[in-house]
Amino acid sequence: MPKTRIAVKNIKQKLEEDIRTLRDPEFGYIRAGLPRFAAFFGRDSCIVSWQLVDYDVTIARRTIELLAELQGKKIDNTSEEEPGKIVHEWHPNPSEYKSLQWPLPYYGSVDSTPLFVYLCGLYYEKSVDTEWLAKYWPHIESALEWCEKYGDVDGDALLEYERKNPAGLLHQGWKDSRMDHLGLKPPIELIEVQGYYYAALREAAELALMLKNELLEKKLRARAEKLKETVLREFWLTKKNFFTIALSESKFPDERISSNPGHLLFSGVLDGEDDKIKAVVDRLFQKDMWTPYGIRTHAESNPDFNSMSYHLGSIWPHDNWIIAQGLRKYGYDREYEKIKRALLDAYRALGEIPELYAVIGGEIEKIPVACSPQAWASGALLNFILEK
């Protein structure tokens, strides 16, 4: 499919229009995507708020307010609600949304809660609003307590998930599904979730310090260090020179190569591990992962690779954007620019930046189920265009 020369200014205007279209006029949150996910998703809303925190900080503020309002208060296995847990999916008028196998609000997400804490830290850094921090600190503490009590049942400092509702989501990270497309048996500890949790603990420790709660600050930093040690010890595949996507019930690491470990780069969990940082970056840009339109979710060399699949070989703009934040953090400027150019080229080839797309034989292809506009896809490219 030939690329057309669409001016960056015109792309920016279209992406801004996408965000306006997706922003709920009554509640102010960003709906995940049209036409299939016109609802409030905890994970998606945190990530798009992160992407746009320098563009419009009110998106993050309103997202945090609504997530705090919906934060879990009780144990309910049907909705998978637990005290302190951040919602996965909600709609103000469920009957106007779509038929689901679970009630709304639904809490089947392992990463919404640490991402909420991380977003709160980012928002405070931008706003320096001490009154806001005092008001929302109890919600941050409650989220941290969920991570420790309910998110880490076996006490190894890693966040894991196992659905409570048999009709709910079997997989509860960003590559979520009711089906076992990942081939992993719960309880499951995903690699990228540990990065989010580490980043959340570090942000929360800074907030605790601002509130002069030195005891909690030390506790959070100690937990972050324990988490880091466990990640480096348990997830690293020496023979592959890469991180596994997940540990499952047997604690036996999965050896398939995926994009998930790239999410560790921004989090800080690899600080001081220069060899591992380089190994992750190098592996993501090998020919079975890298394409002219971005990094695949799943390596072409994996036995279950499918370029048109939702999570096992397609390319997701937000996935690439999160990886790129880590590349910039560690000074991999050339690789950062490669991803930025790849997503711009994808927009020019497709005339839009959808939720996901395929690359087959070097050519980009649309995937029919992909939402467009989609919040964290449009947010990713808009952030790239706006970054200085």
What pLDDT digit, counting tens, does each position of 22-49 carry?
A: 999 999 999 999 999 999 999 999 999 9
pLDDT digits over 163-201, tens only? 999 999 999 999 999 999 888 889 999 999 999 999 999
| This model's pTM is above 0.95 | yes
Read off the amino acid at residue 113. Answer: T
On the question of pLDDT at 375 being above 60, the answer is yes
CB atoms within 10 A of CB 376: 29
On the question of pLDDT at 2 being above 60, the answer is no
In this prediction, residue 388 carries a pLDDT of: 67
| Residue 197 near residue 114, CB atoms below 8 Å | yes
The closest alpha carbon to 241, from 278, 194, 190, 295, belongs to 278
Sign of CA dihedral 240, 175, 190, 330: positive
CA-to-CA distance for 174 and 122, rounded, in angstroms?
20
Read off the amino acid at residue 140. Answer: I
In this prediction, residue 386 carries a pLDDT of: 96
Domains of the chain and any CATH numbers: 8-386 (1.50.10.10)
On the question of pLDDT at 264 being above 90, the answer is yes
In this prediction, residue 183 carries a pLDDT of: 87
Q: Region 347-371: what's the mean pLDDT?
A: 97
On the question of pLDDT at 1 being above 80, the answer is no
The closest alpha carbon to 324, from 252, 265, 247, belongs to 265
CA-to-CA distance for 213 and 215, rounded, in angstroms?
6
In this prediction, residue 4 carries a pLDDT of: 65
Predicted confidence band at 253 (pLDDT cuts at 50, 70, 90)?
Answer: confident
Predicted confidence band at 3 (pLDDT cuts at 50, 70, 90)?
Answer: low
CA-to-CA distance for 183 and 384, rounded, in angstroms?
34
69 sits in which H/E element: helix 57-70
Q: Region 127-153: what's the mean pLDDT?
A: 98
Q: pLDDT higher for 290 or 184?
A: 290
In this prediction, residue 182 carries a pLDDT of: 87
pLDDT digits over 92-112, tens only? 999 899 999 999 999 999 999
Q: Region 271-296: what's the mean pLDDT?
A: 98
Sign of CA dihedral 280, 285, 289, 291: positive
